[in-house]
Structure 1
Amino acid sequence: MATVHHWTGLEARALRLALRLSVRAFADHLGVGVRTVSKWEKLRASTEPRPDTQAILDTALARADAAAHLRFETFLSEAGGSRTGRWATPAAPPAWEYESWADDLDRVVVALSQQDFTFAECLLSRWQSRFKSAELDEKGLYLFARSTALFGDLKRYRGTPVGLLSAQHSYAGARAVFMHLGIPRRVAQLDLSHAVVMEMSGKLETAARAYESLAVDDRLSARDRASARLWVGTALSKDGEHDYATRVMTAATRDFEDLAEPEDWSVAHQKLALARRDAGDLTAALRFLDIACTTGTARSPMQRVQLTTAQAHIFRTDPATRDEGLRLLDEAAQIAAQSDLGHQLRSIEAIRRTCEGAFKPLHHRPGSR
C-alpha cells in the first residue's frame, strides 16, 4: 500500500480523485474547510497542509481500500508538476517508491547475471535520473549507492577500456556513500570490485595484493573472501607465478566445497585448469577442465564464453586437439560479440594472435590428449 512521507496539495488532490469524492465531499470526509481543499487543488505541490492535517490525510489514505490505493498511485504518477512536466518530488520519496526502486535493483542483478545489459541500463537510468542524492534520506541514499555500484558492474561486464574507467568512477562514488552511511560490508565489496577492474586493466600485481588483503577481511562474507582468494590465484597466474597460484586457488576450491557453493567450486576448477596449462602441466589442466565441464551449468552467455574459452585455450595446446581448440575459440568469440562482452572478446583475440605465430606445444605427460 502507498504511504506519503510529506503531503502537499498535489498528493491531497490525488487522494481526493482516488476516493472519487467532490471537493466538498472530500472536505467533509477529512473534517476540514472547503476553502482549504480548494487551496490544495489550486496550488498543488507549492502548498503544504498543516501538521495536524497531514496526520488526517495519513489516516484517510491508510483507511482507503486497495483499489483506491492503486488509483492514488496512478494519479500521482500522471499528475507531475504541470509547469515542469515532471512530478515534483517531495523531500523524501514515498515509501512505495523505495519499494519499487529496490524491486528494480533486484531485477537489475538478474539482468546483469544474464548479460541483458540494455534492460539493466534502462532500469538503472530510470532511478538515477529521477532523484538527486541531496534529495534523499538514508534509505534513499542506500538505494542510490546500490544503483551506482550496479552501474559500475554494468560497465565492468561490458569490459571496454572506457567502460573500465567508468566502472572505477561508479565504484568510487558508491563507496563514498556507503562510507557515509556506515555500511562496512558494502565498502569492502566495492573494494573487491575495484580490484577486479585493476586485474582487467592489466595491473596484476596490484590486484593480487588487493585480493590478498580482502581474502582475510572480516567485513566480507565467507563466499566473498573465498572469491578473493581464488582471484589472487588468477592474477598471479596471469603474472607467471603458476605454482603458487595453483596452491592459492586449491585453497579457494576447498573453501567453496565447505560452503556448499557448487557453481563457484566448478569455476575454481576452470581457473585451476588454465593455471596448470600455463605451467606446462597439460595432464592436470585436462583433469581440472573435465571437472569444470561436468559440474558447471554455464547458463549465462558470460559463463559459456569463459568455459568455452578455457576449453579452447587448453585444447589448442596439444597438436592432436588444436583444430578443435580453434573451433571452440571461434564459438566463444561469436557468443562474446553477440552478448557485448568486450573484455572477453579482446582476450579471445589475443589468444588468436598467439595462434598465428609458430605453434610450440607445451611439454605434457604421457596419457594426455
Structure 2
Amino acid sequence: MATVHHWSGLEAHALRRALRMSVRVFAEHLGVAVRTVSKWDKLAAATEPRPDTQAILDTALARADAAVHLRFETLLSESGRTNAAGLRRVTAGGPRMWDYESWTDDLDRTVVALSRQNFASASSLLTRWISRWRPLELDDKGLYLFARSTALLGDLQRDQGAVLGPLSAQHSYTGARSVFTQLDIPRRVAQLDLSLAVVVEMSGKLEIAARNYETLAVDDRLSRRDRARARLWVGTALSKDGKHDYAARVMQAATREFEDLTEPEDWSVAHQKLALAHRGAGDLTGALHFIDIARSSQVADSPLQRVRLDTAHGHILLSDRDTRDDGLLVLDQAAKVAAQYGLVHQLRSIEGIKAMSEGPTGLRRR
C-alpha cells in the first residue's frame, strides 16, 4: 500500500478515479467545492491542494480499502509519477494492509467505548496497537494511526483524571502532536493544541488556559465547530477564575455559534456552562434558568455528561439555603456514578464543591 507525502492535483485525481467517484460525489465525499475537484482534474501536477485539504485527502486515502489502494497506485504508476508523488510502501517487518484495517476498526470501537466511559475496553484496544510497533517501523499511514491512537489514549487519561506526569493526558497529547507535526497535518496539530489547553485548564492554570483558548478560537486550522468550542472554553476558564460576567458574554457568543451550526449537544453543554457562570456571579435565578435548558435539551446520555450536568445542577442548588439538601442529594448521586465509571477528576470536583459549600460564604440567597 502507499501513502502520499505531498498531494498535487494529479494524486487527487488518481484518488477520485480509484474510488470510482464522479467529480460531484468526490467533492461531497471530501467536503470541498466541485470547482476545486475540477481544477485538480484539469491542472493535475500543476496545482496543489491547500494544507488543510491535503489533510482531508490523507484521511480519505487512509480510510480506503485495499482495492482502492491498488487502483490508486496503478494509476499513479501509469502516469509515471509514482516516485515523484513521494509514495512509500510498507516494509516486510511493518504492518500489513489487514493490520491497518483492523487497527482502523479498533479505533472506531475505541471512540464508542470512550463515549460510554468503558475505559477498560478502550485501554485494551489502544495498547494492543501502540505497543505492537515502534514509530520507526511504520510508514505514514501507520504513523497516522499511531498518532490517532495516542491522542485517544490522552482522551482516556484525561477523563480518568490523569492530567500531568509520564502516564498522563499531557504526555500522550504531546506525543501525538509531535507525530502529526512530522506528518504535516495542521488540522490534527491544532486539535491537539486544543486538547493540551484543556489539560492546562484542568491543572488549574486558568489564565494561561484562557489565553490559549482565545488564540485557538480564531485559528483557521480548526473547524468552525472546534473554534466555537475554544470560545466556549475561554468562558469556562474565565468563570473558574472569577470573571463571571465577562465569561457569560463569551459563552453567549459560542452558544449562538452552536445554534447556527445546528450542534445540539454543544448547545446544551454551553447552557450548562452559562448556568455555572451565572451561579458564580450570584444570579441563581439565571443559573437555574440555564441549567433547566441544559437538562431538558441534553442529547448525549453518556455517564460523563450525566455526571457533569448533575454536578452543575447540584452546585447551583447547593448555593441556596432553601435548596441545599436537594443539592447534596444531586451531588451524592453524581458522585456514585463518577465512582462507578472511574471518573476521578469529576469526583474531585464534587468533593471540592461540597467542601466549599461548608464555608461561611458557600451559601447565597436568590
TM tier relative to shorter chain: 0.7 to 0.9
Give 1:137's aligned residue. Answer: 139
The 1-side partners of 2:163 and 2:93 are apart by 38
Give 2:309's aligned residue. Answer: 307
Q: CA deviation at 1:166?
A: 1.7
Structural mapping, 1:338-357, within 5 Å: 338-357=340-359
Give 2:95's aligned residue. Answer: 93
SS at 1:199 equivalent = helix
SS at 1:271 equivalent = helix
The 2-side partners of 1:148 and 1:4 are apart by 22
How has the CA–CA distance of structure 1 residues 255 and 99 changed in structure 2, closer, same or farther, with 3 Å as cutoff? same
Q: CA deviation at 1:172?
A: 1.1
Residue deviations 1:158-187 (CA, integer Å, cap 9, x gap): 013556962111111111111111100000
Q: CA deviation at 1:250?
A: 0.3
Structural mapping, 1:14-93, within 5 Å: 90-93=92-95
Q: CA deviation at 1:4?
A: 12
The 1-side partners of 2:282 and 2:361 are apart by 14
How has the CA–CA distance of structure 1 residues 164 and 275 changed in structure 2, closer, same or farther, with 3 Å as cutoff? farther
The 2-side partners of 1:289 and 1:157 are apart by 22
The 1-side partners of 2:186 and 2:163 are apart by 29
Q: CA deviation at 1:358?
A: 3.4
How has the CA–CA distance of structure 1 residues 194 and 161 changed in structure 2, closer, same or farther, with 3 Å as cutoff? closer
How has the CA–CA distance of structure 1 residues 328 and 298 changed in structure 2, closer, same or farther, with 3 Å as cutoff? farther
Structure 1 residue ranges, 4+ long, deviating more than 6 angstroms after superposition: none
Structure 1 unaligned regions, length at least 5: 6-57, 63-88, 365-369
CA contact (8 A) 1:155 1:164 kept: no
Give 1:157's aligned residue. Answer: 159
Amino acid at match of 1:244: Y
SS at 1:357 equivalent = coil
Give 2:60's aligned residue. Answer: none
Amino acid at match of 1:240: G
CA contact (8 A) 1:148 1:171 kept: yes
The 1-side partners of 2:223 and 2:106 are apart by 24
CA contact (8 A) 1:195 1:211 kept: yes
The 1-side partners of 2:150 and 2:224 are apart by 24
Amino acid at match of 1:228: A
- Of 103, 122, 135, 1:120 maps to 122
1:214 aligns with 2:197: no
Matched residues, number: 281
Give 2:169's aligned residue. Answer: 167
Structure 2 unaligned regions, length at least 5: 4-65, 71-90
CA contact (8 A) 2:291 2:313 kept: yes
- Of 146, 149, 154, 2:148 maps to 146
How has the CA–CA distance of structure 1 residues 301 and 108 changed in structure 2, closer, same or farther, with 3 Å as cutoff? same
TM-score calculated relative to the size of structure 2: 0.74
Q: CA deviation at 1:285?
A: 0.6
SS at 2:168 equivalent = helix
- Of 110, 113, 127, 1:111 maps to 113
- Of 194, 209, 212, 2:196 maps to 194
Q: CA deviation at 1:357?
A: 2.7
The 1-side partners of 2:361 and 2:318 are apart by 9
1:260 aligns with 2:259: no
Give 2:205's aligned residue. Answer: 203
How has the CA–CA distance of structure 1 residues 166 and 360 changed in structure 2, closer, same or farther, with 3 Å as cutoff? closer
CA contact (8 A) 2:356 2:362 kept: no
Structural mapping, 1:289-304, within 5 Å: 289-304=291-306
The 2-side partners of 1:115 and 1:246 are apart by 29
SS at 2:339 equivalent = helix
The more displaced of 149-158 and 352-361 is 352-361
How has the CA–CA distance of structure 1 residues 133 and 325 changed in structure 2, closer, same or farther, with 3 Å as cutoff? same
TM-score calculated relative to the size of structure 1: 0.73
How has the CA–CA distance of structure 1 residues 127 and 108 changed in structure 2, closer, same or farther, with 3 Å as cutoff? same
CA contact (8 A) 1:164 1:201 kept: no
Calculate percent identity across the aligned residue pairs: 67
CA contact (8 A) 1:108 1:123 kept: yes
1:361 aligns with 2:363: yes
Amino acid at match of 1:119: S
Q: CA deviation at 1:97?
A: 0.9
The 2-side partners of 1:4 and 1:267 are apart by 41
Q: CA deviation at 1:91?
A: 3.5
CA contact (8 A) 2:157 2:163 kept: no
CA contact (8 A) 1:281 1:363 kept: no
**RMSD across aligned C-alpha pairs, in angstroms?**
2.1
